[in-house]
Amino acid sequence: MTWRGETIADSAFCIERLTKDLGVRLDEGLSLEQQAAAYAIRKMVEESTYWTVAYARWVEHFGVCRKQVLLESSVFMGGDLPYSVWRPLHGLLMRMAQPAIKKALHAQGFGRFDRQERQHIIEQDLLALANYLGGKPFMMGDKPTTVDACVFGELALCVWQLPGSHHEHLLTKDKRFEALYHYTLRLKNLLFPECWPRPPKTYDPPT
Protein backbone atom coordinates (compact mmCIF):
# COMPACT_ATOMS: atom_id res chain seq x y z
CA MET A 1 0.00 0.00 0.00
CA THR A 2 1.00 3.66 -0.26
CA TRP A 3 0.66 5.45 3.05
CA ARG A 4 1.68 9.05 3.56
CA GLY A 5 3.93 8.94 0.54
CA GLU A 6 5.64 5.68 1.50
CA THR A 7 5.18 2.31 -0.24
CA ILE A 8 4.73 -0.56 2.23
CA ALA A 9 4.68 -3.99 0.61
CA ASP A 10 3.99 -6.65 3.24
CA SER A 11 0.58 -6.95 4.92
CA ALA A 12 2.15 -7.46 8.35
CA PHE A 13 4.17 -4.26 7.98
CA CYS A 14 1.05 -2.49 6.69
CA ILE A 15 -0.88 -3.48 9.82
CA GLU A 16 1.99 -2.47 12.11
CA ARG A 17 2.35 0.92 10.44
CA LEU A 18 -1.37 1.71 10.42
CA THR A 19 -1.91 0.69 14.02
CA LYS A 20 1.07 2.78 15.10
CA ASP A 21 0.18 5.88 13.11
CA LEU A 22 -3.54 5.73 13.90
CA GLY A 23 -3.12 4.77 17.53
CA VAL A 24 -5.19 1.60 17.18
CA ARG A 25 -4.61 -1.49 19.34
CA LEU A 26 -6.10 -4.38 17.39
CA ASP A 27 -5.00 -7.13 19.76
CA GLU A 28 -5.53 -5.32 23.02
CA GLY A 29 -5.97 -7.66 25.96
CA LEU A 30 -3.83 -10.51 24.66
CA SER A 31 -1.16 -11.78 27.03
CA LEU A 32 2.43 -12.14 25.88
CA GLU A 33 1.84 -15.89 25.62
CA GLN A 34 -1.23 -15.35 23.44
CA GLN A 35 0.64 -12.87 21.26
CA ALA A 36 3.40 -15.45 20.75
CA ALA A 37 0.87 -18.14 19.84
CA ALA A 38 -0.91 -15.80 17.43
CA TYR A 39 2.39 -14.95 15.74
CA ALA A 40 3.30 -18.64 15.37
CA ILE A 41 -0.12 -19.47 13.91
CA ARG A 42 0.11 -16.60 11.46
CA LYS A 43 3.56 -17.71 10.32
CA MET A 44 2.39 -21.30 9.81
CA VAL A 45 -0.51 -20.10 7.69
CA GLU A 46 1.64 -17.70 5.67
CA GLU A 47 4.66 -19.97 5.20
CA SER A 48 3.03 -23.42 4.96
CA THR A 49 -0.74 -23.41 4.43
CA TYR A 50 -0.41 -20.67 1.82
CA TRP A 51 1.76 -22.91 -0.37
CA THR A 52 -0.64 -25.84 -0.09
CA VAL A 53 -3.43 -23.59 -1.34
CA ALA A 54 -1.25 -22.19 -4.12
CA TYR A 55 -0.42 -25.70 -5.35
CA ALA A 56 -4.06 -26.76 -5.31
CA ARG A 57 -5.15 -23.64 -7.15
CA TRP A 58 -2.39 -23.30 -9.71
CA VAL A 59 -1.36 -26.92 -10.34
CA GLU A 60 -3.59 -29.70 -9.03
CA HIS A 61 -6.95 -28.05 -9.74
CA PHE A 62 -5.84 -25.34 -12.14
CA GLY A 63 -8.49 -26.02 -14.78
CA VAL A 64 -11.43 -25.86 -12.38
CA CYS A 65 -10.09 -22.85 -10.49
CA ARG A 66 -9.32 -21.00 -13.71
CA LYS A 67 -12.90 -21.46 -14.89
CA GLN A 68 -14.18 -20.21 -11.56
CA VAL A 69 -12.00 -17.10 -11.69
CA LEU A 70 -13.06 -16.42 -15.26
CA LEU A 71 -16.74 -16.71 -14.38
CA GLU A 72 -16.34 -14.34 -11.45
CA SER A 73 -14.19 -11.85 -13.34
CA SER A 74 -17.14 -10.60 -15.39
CA VAL A 75 -18.79 -9.56 -12.12
CA PHE A 76 -15.84 -8.16 -10.18
CA MET A 77 -13.78 -6.78 -13.06
CA GLY A 78 -16.18 -6.11 -15.87
CA GLY A 79 -19.45 -5.27 -14.19
CA ASP A 80 -22.18 -6.22 -16.61
CA LEU A 81 -19.83 -6.88 -19.52
CA PRO A 82 -20.34 -10.29 -21.13
CA TYR A 83 -18.21 -13.20 -20.01
CA SER A 84 -16.80 -13.54 -23.53
CA VAL A 85 -15.13 -10.13 -23.25
CA TRP A 86 -13.09 -11.05 -20.19
CA ARG A 87 -12.46 -14.73 -20.79
CA PRO A 88 -9.65 -14.48 -23.40
CA LEU A 89 -7.65 -11.91 -21.43
CA HIS A 90 -7.98 -13.54 -18.03
CA GLY A 91 -7.40 -17.02 -19.41
CA LEU A 92 -4.22 -15.85 -21.12
CA LEU A 93 -2.93 -14.07 -18.02
CA MET A 94 -3.50 -17.11 -15.82
CA ARG A 95 -1.79 -19.44 -18.28
CA MET A 96 1.15 -17.05 -18.49
CA ALA A 97 1.42 -16.86 -14.70
CA GLN A 98 1.20 -20.61 -14.07
CA PRO A 99 4.81 -21.55 -15.04
CA ALA A 100 6.26 -18.90 -12.72
CA ILE A 101 4.09 -20.10 -9.85
CA LYS A 102 5.09 -23.72 -10.49
CA LYS A 103 8.73 -22.64 -10.39
CA ALA A 104 8.17 -20.81 -7.10
CA LEU A 105 6.45 -23.87 -5.63
CA HIS A 106 9.40 -26.05 -6.62
CA ALA A 107 11.92 -23.58 -5.20
CA GLN A 108 9.97 -23.33 -1.94
CA GLY A 109 9.87 -27.11 -1.66
CA PHE A 110 6.17 -27.94 -1.56
CA GLY A 111 6.11 -28.52 -5.31
CA ARG A 112 8.59 -31.40 -4.91
CA PHE A 113 6.35 -33.55 -2.71
CA ASP A 114 4.18 -36.36 -4.03
CA ARG A 115 0.41 -36.34 -3.62
CA GLN A 116 0.38 -38.31 -0.39
CA GLU A 117 2.98 -36.04 1.19
CA ARG A 118 1.10 -32.92 0.09
CA GLN A 119 -2.14 -34.18 1.57
CA HIS A 120 -0.37 -35.05 4.82
CA ILE A 121 0.96 -31.49 5.15
CA ILE A 122 -2.48 -30.03 4.39
CA GLU A 123 -4.06 -32.24 7.03
CA GLN A 124 -1.41 -31.43 9.65
CA ASP A 125 -1.82 -27.68 9.11
CA LEU A 126 -5.60 -27.84 9.39
CA LEU A 127 -5.39 -30.12 12.43
CA ALA A 128 -3.09 -27.64 14.16
CA LEU A 129 -5.63 -24.88 13.55
CA ALA A 130 -8.58 -27.04 14.58
CA ASN A 131 -6.88 -28.26 17.75
CA TYR A 132 -5.83 -24.77 18.81
CA LEU A 133 -9.30 -23.36 18.09
CA GLY A 134 -10.96 -26.07 20.15
CA GLY A 135 -14.35 -24.84 21.31
CA LYS A 136 -13.49 -21.14 21.18
CA PRO A 137 -15.39 -18.86 18.77
CA PHE A 138 -12.11 -17.28 17.62
CA MET A 139 -8.47 -18.30 17.75
CA MET A 140 -7.57 -16.21 20.78
CA GLY A 141 -10.87 -16.41 22.61
CA ASP A 142 -14.22 -14.65 22.52
CA LYS A 143 -13.17 -11.77 20.27
CA PRO A 144 -11.55 -11.77 16.80
CA THR A 145 -7.97 -10.53 16.51
CA THR A 146 -5.57 -9.98 13.64
CA VAL A 147 -4.60 -13.66 13.50
CA ASP A 148 -8.21 -14.51 12.65
CA ALA A 149 -8.03 -12.29 9.57
CA CYS A 150 -4.92 -14.16 8.42
CA VAL A 151 -6.40 -17.61 9.06
CA PHE A 152 -9.73 -16.71 7.48
CA GLY A 153 -8.05 -15.56 4.28
CA GLU A 154 -6.68 -19.04 3.62
CA LEU A 155 -9.64 -21.03 4.96
CA ALA A 156 -12.07 -19.02 2.84
CA LEU A 157 -10.10 -20.03 -0.25
CA CYS A 158 -10.21 -23.66 0.88
CA VAL A 159 -13.99 -23.66 1.40
CA TRP A 160 -15.20 -21.51 -1.51
CA GLN A 161 -12.42 -21.31 -4.09
CA LEU A 162 -10.92 -24.82 -4.30
CA PRO A 163 -13.75 -27.07 -5.52
CA GLY A 164 -12.84 -30.75 -5.44
CA SER A 165 -9.63 -30.19 -3.47
CA HIS A 166 -8.39 -32.09 -0.43
CA HIS A 167 -8.70 -28.80 1.50
CA GLU A 168 -12.39 -28.50 0.67
CA HIS A 169 -13.07 -32.15 1.48
CA LEU A 170 -11.42 -31.97 4.90
CA LEU A 171 -13.16 -28.76 5.94
CA THR A 172 -16.64 -29.60 4.69
CA LYS A 173 -16.83 -33.39 5.06
CA ASP A 174 -14.41 -34.50 7.77
CA LYS A 175 -15.90 -34.30 11.27
CA ARG A 176 -12.51 -33.51 12.81
CA PHE A 177 -12.73 -30.09 11.16
CA GLU A 178 -16.39 -29.32 11.89
CA ALA A 179 -15.55 -26.55 14.37
CA LEU A 180 -12.97 -25.06 11.97
CA TYR A 181 -15.54 -25.05 9.16
CA HIS A 182 -18.08 -23.21 11.34
CA TYR A 183 -15.31 -20.83 12.44
CA THR A 184 -14.81 -19.95 8.77
CA LEU A 185 -18.55 -19.36 8.32
CA ARG A 186 -18.64 -17.24 11.48
CA LEU A 187 -15.91 -14.94 10.19
CA LYS A 188 -17.45 -14.80 6.72
CA ASN A 189 -20.79 -13.70 8.14
CA LEU A 190 -19.07 -11.22 10.45
CA LEU A 191 -16.77 -9.64 7.88
CA PHE A 192 -18.52 -10.11 4.52
CA PRO A 193 -22.22 -10.85 5.15
CA GLU A 194 -23.40 -9.67 1.73
CA CYS A 195 -20.42 -10.18 -0.57
CA TRP A 196 -20.51 -13.90 -1.35
CA PRO A 197 -23.19 -16.44 -2.07
CA ARG A 198 -24.55 -17.61 1.25
CA PRO A 199 -22.86 -20.88 2.28
CA PRO A 200 -24.83 -23.74 3.83
CA LYS A 201 -25.81 -23.08 7.44
CA THR A 202 -25.44 -26.64 8.65
CA TYR A 203 -22.59 -29.11 8.67
CA ASP A 204 -23.57 -32.10 6.55
CA PRO A 205 -20.95 -34.87 6.58
CA PRO A 206 -21.45 -37.90 4.35
CA THR A 207 -23.31 -40.84 5.87
Greater confidence (206 vs 61) lies with 61
Q: What is the mean pLDDT of residues 36-61?
A: 96
Answer yes or no: is pLDDT of 203 > 50. no
| pLDDT at residue 93, as a whole number | 80
Q: How confident is the model at residue 89 (pLDDT cuts 50, 70, 90)?
A: confident
Q: Of 47-51, 59-63, 100-104, give the lowest mean pLDDT range.
A: 59-63
Q: How confident is the model at residue 196 (pLDDT cuts 50, 70, 90)?
A: low
Q: What is the mean pLDDT of residues 157-164?
A: 92
How far apart CA 42 and CA 59 sit, in angstroms, is 24
Encode the chain in three state secondary structure. CEECCEECCCHHHHHHHHHHHHCCCCCCCCCHHHHHHHHHHHHHHHHHHHHHHHHHHHHHCHHHHHHHHHHHHHHHCCCCCCHHHHHHHHHHHHHHHHHHHHHHHHHHCHHHCCHHHHHHHHHHHHHHHHHHHCCCCECCECCCCHHHHHHHHHHHHHHHCCCCCHHHHHHHHCHHHHHHHHHHHHHHHHHCCCCCCCCCCCCCCCC
| pLDDT at residue 86, as a whole number | 64
Helix axes 32-44, 146-160, angle to 10 degrees: 30
Domains and CATH numbers, the chain: 1-30 (no CATH), 31-191 (1.20.1050)
| pLDDT at residue 153, as a whole number | 93
Q: How confident is the model at residue 177 (pLDDT cuts 50, 70, 90)?
A: very high
| pLDDT at residue 72, as a whole number | 60
